[in-house]
Amino acid sequence: MIRPDAPVLLEIRDLQARVEDQPILKGVSLTIRAGEIHAVMGRNGSGKSTLSKVLAGHPAYTVTGGTVRYVGDDLLSLEPELRARAGLFLGFQYPVEIPGVSNLEFLRVATNARRAGKGEEELDTFAFEDLVRERLQVVQMDPAFLERSVNEGFSGGEKKRNEILQMALLDPLVAVLDETDSGLDIDALRIVAGGVNHLAGPDNATLLITHYQRLLDVITPDYVHVMAVGRILRTGGKELALELEERGYDWVDAELAALERTPAEVG
């Protein structure tokens, strides 16, 4: 839902980042207001996953330039856990398994960390169990998954549902969902997308990172951004995604080549 007067939640300006010696992001700018759903599309290696990791604060990535304002704060100066407590959520493409740590306990500690960030009281184990059982329905997840170790032995689809369950518990202001559709069959995709749609509201925003149109068939974006070689090449409405679907990514290459030629010709 686009409302020009809605408050800005995330404002990325000319963001540049590298991993080891390899520059990946080469100047990304993006403004996200409350109530909006954005989709960033692009080929593998375009830098779209890096963007999500940099926003969440992954230590393997080094920011080399630009700024990110998050609800008025300098996001990049915050430790990853503080970003999460402030309501930034990253849904992982490949959620890791953490043997020995109970999923229920993990969800409770995470939920309470976020509640502390909102200035809310901690939930005790009973109150939390009530909450988690209610939120399980958002992703139609079997309560048995609460008793297992975090993601251990979960199928690809179960891991993604566990991610959306976390999103449902953590009540994020900005949810960045990295390739949430990858590895999902059509039923699981519908459930996961249903969860995302259910959680999207006028006060929060969603940034979908995806390779394929099929996710956008079930979650309608307000904006679609096409990313290539570390930059946002084009921004449009949902029809841009359909165009990509039709024409493939080849025209992006042509546009990119044109872009790279231009300065020389002009110069």
Partner 1 sequence: MASSATVGDLVSQPYKYGFVTDIETEKIAKGLSEDVVRLISAKKNEPAFLLDFRLRSFRQWLQMEEPDWATLGHPPIDYQEIIYYAAPKQQEKKASLDEVDPKLLETFEKLGIPLSEQKRLSNVAVDAVFDSVSIATTYREKLAEHGVIFCSISEAVKDHADLIEKYLGTVVPGNDNYFAALNSAVFSDGSFVFIPKRVECPMELSTYFRINSGDTGQFERTLIVAEEGASVSYLEGCTAPMFDTNQLHAAVVELVALDDASIKYSTVQNWYAGDENGKGGIYNFVTKRGQCRGDRSHISWTQVETGSAITWKYPSCVLQGADSVGEFYSVALTNNRQQADTGTKMIHVGPRTRSTIVSKGISAGHSSNSYRGLVQLGPKAVGARNYSQCDSMLIGDQAAANTYPYIRSQQPDASIEHEASTCRISADQLFYLQSRGIAFEEAVSMMVSGFCRDVFNQLPMEFAAEADKLLALKLEGSVG
Q: Which residues bind partner 1 (CB under 8 A)?
A: 56-63, 76-81, 83-85, 90, 92, 95-96, 98-102, 105-106, 109-110, 113-114, 117, 149, 166, 170
Judge whether 180 and 160 are in contact, CB under 8 Å: yes
Between 42 and 172, name the residue whose CB sits nearer to partner 1: 172
Angle, helices 156-170/103-117, rounded to nearest 10 degrees: 30
How far apart are CB 192 and partner 1 at their closest, in Å?
A: 18
How far apart are CB 195 and partner 1 at their closest, in Å?
A: 17
How far apart are CB 113 and partner 1 at their closest, in Å?
A: 3
Between 42 and 57, name the residue whose CB sits nearer to partner 1: 57
Q: Where are the beta strands (DSSP E) in 98-228?
A: 98-102, 149-150, 174-178, 205-210, 223-228
Judge whether 247 and 42 are in contact, CB under 8 Å: no
Between 72 and 267, name the residue whose CB sits nearer to partner 1: 72
Between 125 and 254, name the residue whose CB sits nearer to partner 1: 125
How far apart are CB 159 and partner 1 at their closest, in Å?
A: 11
Judge whether 123 and 115 are in contact, CB under 8 Å: yes
Judge whether 72 and 79 are in contact, CB under 8 Å: no
The torsion angles phi and psi of 111, rounded to 5 degrees, stand at -60, -45
Using CA atoms, how far apart are residues 181 and 217, in angstroms rounded to an integer? Answer: 11
How far apart are CB 112 and partner 1 at their closest, in Å?
A: 8
Judge whether 225 and 232 are in contact, CB under 8 Å: yes
Between 26 and 148, name the residue whose CB sits nearer to partner 1: 148
Between 92 and 145, name the residue whose CB sits nearer to partner 1: 92
Give Cα 15 distance to the centre of its chain. 17
Using CA atoms, how far apart are residues 191 and 142, in angstroms rounded to an integer? Answer: 13
Judge whether 192 and 93 are in contact, CB under 8 Å: no
Between 43 and 58, name the residue whose CB sits nearer to partner 1: 58
In this structure, the chain runs to a length of: 267
How far apart are CB 92 and partner 1 at their closest, in Å?
A: 7
Q: To 5 degrees, how large is the angle CA 188–CA 189–CA 195?
A: 90
DSSP state of 154: -
How far apart are CB 96 and partner 1 at their closest, in Å?
A: 5
